[in-house]
Homo-oligomer: A and B are copies of this chain.
Amino acid sequence: MKELIVSKAKTLHTLPTPCLVLDRAKLRRNIARMTVACARNGVTLRPHLKTAKSIPVANLLTGPNVSGIAVSTLLEAEYFAQNGFQDIQYAVGITPDKLDRAARIQQIGARVTLVTDNLGTAREICRYTDETGTVFHVLIEIDCGERRSGLDPSAPELLDLARTLADANNVVLDGVMTHAGHSYTCRSLAEIEAVAEAERLAVVTAAERIRAAGMACPTVSVGSSPTALHARHLTGVTETRAGVFMFGDVFQAQILTCTLDDLAVSVLTEVTGHRADLGHMTIDAGGLAMSKDRSTENVENDVGFGLMADLSGEVFAPQLTIARVYQEHGLVPVTEPHRLEDFPIGRRLRVYPNHVCMTASMYPGYFVVDSEESDGVEVVEEWSRISGW
Contact = CB atoms under 8 A, between A and B. Distances in A.
Interface stretch (A24-32, A291-299, A375-383): A291-299
B1 A97 contact: no
A187 interface: no
B50 A327 contact: yes
Contacts of A7: 100-101
B388 A363 contact: yes
A341 B117 CA distance: 16
Contact of A95 (B74, B284, B289, B328): B284
Contacts of A274: 118
Contacts of A50: 327-328
Interface string A84-122: 000000001101111011001100000000000110110
Contact of A291 (B2, B96, B292): B292
A235 to B, nearest CB: 28
Contacts of A273: 93, 117-118, 149
Interface stretch (A56-64, A163-171, A248-256, A354-362): A354-362
Interface in A1-56: 1-2, 4-5, 7, 14, 16-19, 50
B148 A331 contact: yes
Given A328-B72, A362-B361, A272 B78 contact: no
Give the interface centre of A270, A327, A363, A387 by most chain B CB atoms within 10 Å: A327
B92 A272 contact: yes
Per assembly, the copies of the chain total: 2
A5 B389 contact: no
A338 interface: no
Name which of A19, A181, A294, A387 has the most chain B CB atoms within 10 A of its CB: A387
Contact of A96 (B19, B289, B345, B361): B345
Given A1-B79, A364-B388, A147 B95 contact: no
B345 A362 contact: no
Contacts of A148: 275, 282, 324, 326, 329, 331
A292 B93 contact: no
A288 interface: yes
Contacts of A358: 287-288, 292, 327
A75 interface: yes
Given A278-B147, A284-B95, A358-B287, A328 B73 contact: yes
B389 A18 contact: yes
A346 interface: yes
A241 to B, nearest CB: 13
A325 to B, nearest CB: 10
Interface in A229-276: 270-275
Contacts of A386: 1
Contacts of A1: 79, 82-83, 386
A331 B389 CA distance: 19
Interface of A: 1-2, 4-5, 7, 14, 16-19, 50, 72-75, 78-79, 82-83, 92-93, 95-98, 100-101, 104-105, 117-118, 120-121, 147-149, 152, 181, 270-275, 277-278, 282, 284, 287-289, 291-294, 324, 326-329, 331, 344-346, 355, 357-358, 361-364, 386-389
